[in-house]
Chain A
């Protein structure tokens, strides 16, 4: 570059206000907010994305539920011929995959999306477009998987153990559809998790230090870290499976020097943290709901936050307890037994903290509290059966039987799903501006609670009588007919309970009583804003001075003698 070129340009001087205009934003008229379906398709608003998550995942929940009912019908009597073996195995696979990858994990992301910015006093997530991408990846993952129904759905169980899932034994493209589902939903979850981590670390309201963060936020933060740590393992595993199936590699093929146990290790290295990914945010919801409806602060805030982190850490170290019956040296089994035991300690801490929160409180039995109490009562059973299963010699008898089916459902349905329903009833007024019908909610709770126990309690017994899981039928001489019939009847009661809540949601969206800003006397910032919240969430973000900012705000308002409605509208009748 010659100096000649610079000759004509004026010397660089500091621009003066009088001569050079300052750069400024020029508004050329506001664009209309998109309406109708486009407003959903193009949205980057965390609340709309959260609702999209909730709608989509509850739809998948319904599909997974119908699959479960079909399986229960087939098993209701011995040597039933209602459903063909291949179809049954496809149902097993679809049900597990749907409930885990398309319901529990993403529905929690949905609640997180809606609630995290509101609870920490932020105006949106850190990366709103990435947030939208996360949802659409999830939806397309689900669609890619479900279109396999029209050709050959996968039928290997949701764990896709190699070599059964390899080309030699399963040339159907259903397995490939599942691999794409894992990649798409996995990417969705990782991006969502990064978004949560960035948001929670950087965008909290002034004064909200780590020790003042709502416990649900703690849970979502740790859920996000677990997703980032665990999902790459399964992404690697399914990629290896894909190349094994189509490009001649032999990661899991003994004939080529591969090892089927490698699949199990990689899968469960993801799969067990996944269990905590599915339960920790539910724990977080319970930690929000119990104090609000006990009219008492949470007992042992720091212990609950710390135990969440401890569970996540230990949760990365227990994966081989899913493999106690595999050819593995005893010393390895003993390690995984002890690490699994260790998890019982922080989990126990949480349960006792919740009970201590309720102890000598003033319990208000609104629908969220029903489900929260149901959660504690049922999750304990899953916890106790979990300790029994961690004793590896006992696990040799119980693994791969209906005892494990019962255990996983006490943890994931009695635990996570009851937690999710508690959260739904708790936050529905915030999301919709309307209260749900209480009588329907209570009816739904009791149907679900009774139906759930009738379905799954007896399955412990079936497992101990020797009934393996994932069998499409059983011989009559085993004598499992009565128990299976009871379980099937229970599953329909449970389904009726879920249906009542769905009807309640549909009805209340239109006809529900107006909720106001703060129907429950909440503790956290989401109750500061209107219901449903405006697009920018907060005109003014309040300063946070404790773990229960809304209590401070209410106190301040009362002291200043301002009308209560200037911050929070009157509470719903009866609370």
Chain B
């Protein structure tokens, strides 16, 4: 009997070793871009990516354990003709309590890790020294609203409507007029190294704001304000699309963020203001002419 038990233990050890090697081999594969969420644009996206990888590794370990046991059973325990009847085991309380506690511990660990990562993902950092300088401080603190430690961020209101996004630069200066901020459609131009806080809502049906490289989704629900933030260090265009079915042309509701250095952002803001004022003037002239006829 002893050699058989030994053999079994060796087989178990071999299986465990094999699983570990496989896990180590799979780890780099799993960290490849196609197996993890998009990241690299903003710190919150990077933290989500890291958190995902930790949970994924735990998941892969469980996956290998279960599939390993399943395949071992399928291969080893096939009925053989004339073989002995299997032992009529009805259960094993210590074993069952063991895996119940084990499963509970695993999810408790995942929960703990999540709460460690949560503040970094949820709370924006301060803008960098090379970021946009003239930023307004937050005047009214609110529980849900994310806020950097020094309270200074570029706030943009994002409004979803079928099938386009509108961006209001609520506290960027200069403003369009005293009471109206500069706005833009389709492409959101933002300064690099600056904490940008988005307040998201909708003018018609539910949409969802999502630029994969800049962090998670924030649903745009009529009657509610939702918030998210990003801080981009690399200038460039970051693309995404609406992530909540919002009508027939949902797939055409693209979103993009164009990150530029702060001085170019300031220049863009001025030009945008001029263009809007110019076109409004032309429009009102055209209206007047239309009325005159």
Contacts and interface: CB of A to CB of B under 8 A. Distances in A.
A351 B102 CA distance: 13
The main secondary structure of chain B at its interface with chain A is: mixed
B178 interface: no
A400 interface: yes
B107 A326 contact: no
Contact of A345 (B35, B38, B103): B103
B162 to A, nearest CB: 8
B37 A300 contact: no
A360 B87 contact: yes
A329 B34 contact: no
Interface of B: 33-38, 45, 47-48, 51-52, 55-56, 59-60, 62-63, 66-67, 69-70, 73-74, 77-80, 83, 85-92, 95-96, 99-100, 103-104, 106-108, 110-111, 114-115, 117-118, 121-122, 143-144, 162, 204-206, 208, 210, 212, 215-219, 221-227, 239-251, 254
Interface string A498-532: 00000000000000000000000000000000000
Contacts of B122: 330, 393
Given A325-B216, A394-B48, 17 more contacts: A260-B223, A294-B77, A303-B91, A303-B100, A326-B219, A341-B107, A344-B103, A355-B69, A356-B95, A358-B73, A359-B73, A362-B83, A384-B63, A396-B215, A464-B34, A466-B212, A466-B241
Nearest to B87: A360
A296 B206 contact: no
B55 A388 contact: yes
A397 B48 contact: yes
Contacts of A380: 62-63, 66-67
A361 B216 contact: no
Q: Is the interface of A mostly helix, strand, loop or mixed?
A: helix
Task: State which size class the interface on A falls in.
Answer: 35 or more
Question: A364, A384, A474: which has the most chain B beta carbons within 10 Å?
Answer: A384
A570 interface: no
A123 interface: no
Contact of A471 (B38, B51, B251): B251
A461 B74 CA distance: 29
A355 B73 contact: yes
Contacts of A157: 245
B248 A396 contact: no
B244 to A, nearest CB: 6
A261 B202 CA distance: 13
Contacts of B92: 299-300, 356
B206 A161 contact: yes
Interface string A295-326: 11111111100000000000000000001011
A164 B248 CA distance: 10
Contact of A401 (B104, B219, B243): B243
